[in-house]
Amino acid sequence: MKSKRVVLKSTAFLSLRRAEQMSSRRTDSIRVLHVLLVLACLGTLVATAFVSFAAPPQATERKIVSDDFTKKRQQSASQTSSKGSNGQSSSGALSKSKQPSRIYRLASAQVIKRTKPATNPAPVDQLGITIWRLRSVGANDTGTRMLVREKGKLSGWVPERVEADTTFREGDYLRLSVESLRVGYLYIVDRDLLADGSSGPAMLIYPWVDTDRVDNQVRPGKLVDIPGQEDDPSYFTARLTSPNQVGEILTIIVTSSPLDLPISNDPIQISKVDLAQWEKMWAGQSERFEMEGGAGEAWTKQEQQASAKVGPRQLTRDDPAPQTIYRISANDTKAILVNVRLRYSK
């Protein structure tokens, strides 16, 4: 009996030892599993951080409205006459613009980065540009058209809005309208854009001498056409002048005081050193916004009258806004500068 009890005790002892060993193994397995889970979480966090660093998430698409641009224009005569001294109409309701607000989407890769505190942000100027592509008048066209003299004959053309990054075909007829919210003096320099990213000679194409005087002043509501309606020809042609040319660069500058430049009837060459210095001082950061649904809209009577050299007509808050709006955070309060690239194809 004694030996049997010893055997039973030994068996019980061995069973207990096996249970303890199995429990220890399970504990070790759980610990290993915990370690693996921690390592996996850390790996996921590192991978997520790397992906976020390599490709930051896209922000919500930014948009602006035309009212922010047109509010600096004068009110229309009807609005002014209908208002009382308290800024209300004769009916007692606040007067509203007849021109519906237009929405603009951010179309440029570059975004203005604020370097100053939000309580004291850098001033942002706005420059309105509309590029027009001329098309032949159709049988059903009843809107505003432009008469162009070709080979001694007058033909009708309809200017239509296009976005600034449109690729034009060689031979397209183009025009440009500029409106500045900054009061100042407008200058436009033209350069050929080459395939390697370089550019040709810089030529000043605006202003020029007109009836023994130079009038290149700009302000809100004053529309400047390049070329002017009275010029012959009143358009410029998308033309590739060399095998490696892919377009043109129009450098648009608005200064607070006139530049000391020799103005003549013909384009004059600008030193590349001077142009590089202007870009360094005045280019700043910029954003390009395009009017949604604006491309394809035809030239209006209001825009025709506002850009004509004869007559005092200017754009009001009721009139169309520009197709493209550049918002510029200037480096220098003396001037702003924007480069507009026109791309051509055969």
Pairing assessment for the beta strands 184-194 and 217-218 based on DSSP bridges: antiparallel
Element (H, E) at 38: helix 2-54
Pairing assessment for the beta strands 153-162 and 167-169 based on DSSP bridges: unpaired
Q: Where are the domains of the chain?
A: 1-57, 63-345
Question: For residue 97, what pLDDT band results from cuts at 50, 70 and 90?
Answer: very low
Question: For residue 6, what pLDDT band results from cuts at 50, 70 and 90?
Answer: very low
Q: What phi, psi does 316 have (nearest 5°)? A: -115, 180
Q: When comparing pLDDT for 310 and 193, which is higher?
A: 193
**Which range has the worst mean pLDDT, 88-92, 255-259, 319-323?**
88-92
pLDDT in tens, 166-193: 999 999 999 999 999 999 999 999 999 9
Query: What's residue 144's pLDDT?
Result: 84
Element (H, E) at 175: strand 173-180
pLDDT in tens, 135-147: 988 777 777 888 7
Whether the predicted pLDDT of 308 surpasses 70:
yes
**Which range has the worst mean pLDDT, 159-163, 202-206, 229-233, 338-342?**
229-233
Angstrom distance (rounded) from CA 168 to CA 174 = 9
What average pLDDT does the structure give for the chain? 81
| Region 275-292 average pLDDT | 95
Closest residue by Cα to residue 123 from 58, 71, 182? 182
Angstrom distance (rounded) from CA 89 to CA 344 = 50
Q: When comparing pLDDT for 317 and 312, which is higher?
A: 317
pLDDT in tens, 57-92: 455 678 999 999 999 999 976 655 555 444 444 444
